[in-house]
Amino acid sequence: MANLIIEQQKSLGEKIMVMTYSYESILKTANKVNWRIEDIINDQKSLNFNKRFLPETLARVNNISCLNESAKLFLNQIRGNSYFHIFGLAEEFVVPTVIHHVETTGLEDITASQALLHFAEEESKHINLFRRFAVDFAKGFPVHCQVIGPVEDIVKAVMQHQPLGIILVILYLEWMTQNHYLESVRDNHTDNLDPQFSSLLKHHWLEEAQHAQLDTLMVEQLVNTLDSGSINQGVEDFFTIVEFLHGGFMMQAQLDVESLSRVTGRIFSESEIQEITSVQKQSYQWTFIGSGLTNRKFLKTFEQVSPTQMERLIAVSRQYS
């Protein structure tokens, strides 16, 4: 029963959201596309350090005038490493959020539970996959690259918020992975991208496509059980988490400049640091916030949850474009 639309009737007198996807068909697709880590990364398949990892639309290294081609390649690869780290850490708050959702909704709809637990299992696999890529990176890159953390503290800070706020963040992040692959990598013949990194983005997207639908269902299910005050609080928490993550991305941009200095052996002047960090901060904002908040499907769900906060959302997404 593909794309079955289930209307949930609630007599709370509060907002009623229509369930847009079917757990059954999502689970069916998820079982079909399911891949194994050892098929994606192994002794024969590893990162090629002669190539760029991230597309230019995400890494934005080309217009930094104080860097030569070799430094631009290094910076692009440093960004590839932070991409593993940032997605890996985001998935560490996805897993407990999904499990908590299953706990609170119960086992009445067993297909929903099966689809959601499969989702949590896939995200655990993704954490493992990103860690494998990070190990591969550390082996092949000439210097150690520092990343934001500790991850447990970041996850803890996110998890203290309302489930609706956290799931809305997860929803935009998961639609965002689709934007990254489909719009910047799949038909990219100009950036000389490493096929292994592109394979990571492709395989991640293949499973995230189901996750984003499951997130949508979780949002809809949750909203149908909350009163308007709790929905408002959840939306407020969403904006707070985005700002918190933004702070982390800005710190990562600074750490990247230090890594670049170590790998190139250059001591950058104040104005060079200024140039690199300002371009990179904008790039982080677009890659990890703007490209997700402007996703059409995310906007559609958000508007249904909180039409009165749409203007604010659009302003935030413009700020991070």
Instruction: Select from 49-57, 63-71, 121-129, 258-266 the region that touches Fe ion (CB under 5 A).
Output: 121-129
What are the structure tokens assigned to 68, written together?
A: 């030569």
Residue 85 in the binding site for Fe ion (CB under 5 A): no
Q: In the complex with Fe ion, which residue's Cβ is closer, 166 or 260?
A: 166
Smaller CB distance to Fe ion: residue 177 or 285? 177
Q: Which of residues 121 and 236 has its CB atom nearest to Fe ion in the complex?
A: 121
Q: Which stretch in 37-45, 66-74, 122-130, 235-243 sits in contact with Fe ion by CB under 5 A? A: 122-130
| Contacts to Fe ion from residues 159-218, by CB under 5 A | 174, 208, 211
Q: Shortest distance, CB of residue 211 to Fe ion, whole angstroms?
A: 3
How many residues bind to Fe ion according to rule CB under 5 A?
A: 4
User: Least Å distance between CB 33 and Fe ion?
Assistant: 12
What is the full DSSP assignment across 159-182? HTS-HHHHHHHHHHHHHHHHHHHH
| b/e map 284-308, b = 16+ CB within 10 Å | bbbbbbbbbbbbebbbebbebbbee
Closer residue to Fe ion, CB minimum distance, 52 or 126: 126
- What whole-number distance in Å separates Cα of residue 265 and Cα of residue 259? 10
Question: Least distance from C-beta 173 to Fe ion, angstroms?
Answer: 8
| Rounded Cα gap, residues 42 and 27, in angstroms | 27
Q: Between 47 and 89, name the residue whose CB sits nearer to Fe ion.
A: 89
In terms of CB distance, is 92 or 174 closer to Fe ion?
Answer: 174
Name the minimum Å distance from CB 130 to Fe ion. Answer: 8
117 with 102: CB under 8 angstroms?
A: yes
3-state per-residue secondary structure call for 222-261: HHCCCCHHHHHHHHHHHHHHHHHHHHHHHHHHHHHHHHHH
Question: Half-sphere exposure of 228 toward its Cβ, with a 13 Å CA cutoff?
Answer: 7
Q: What is the DSSP string of 125-159?
A: HHHHHHHHHHHHHHHHSSS-------HHHHHHHHH
Q: Can you tell me which of 52, 101, 118, 126 binds Fe ion, judged by CB under 5 A?
A: 126
- Collect all residues with Cβ–Cβ distance below 8 Å to 46 and sequence separation of at least 6: 136, 140, 196
**Radius of gyration in angstroms for the set of CA atoms belonging to the chain, rounded to a whole number:** 20
Stretch that binds Fe ion, among 49-57, 126-134, 147-155, 193-201 (CB under 5 A): 126-134
CB of 129 to Fe ion, least distance (A): 8
CA 61, CA 71: separation in Å to the nearest integer?
9
Min dist. Cβ of residue 49 to Fe ion (A): 24
How many other CB atoms sit within 10 Å of the CB of residue 227? 12
CB of 93 to Fe ion, least distance (A): 11
**Which residue, 194 or 208, is less far from Fe ion as judged by CB?**
208
We find the least distance from the C-beta atom of residue 23 to Fe ion, in angstroms, to be 16
Kindly state the tokens that stand for 47: 């990162």
Of residues 143 and 159, the one with the C-beta less far from Fe ion: 159
**List of residues contacting Fe ion (CB under 5 A):** 126, 174, 208, 211
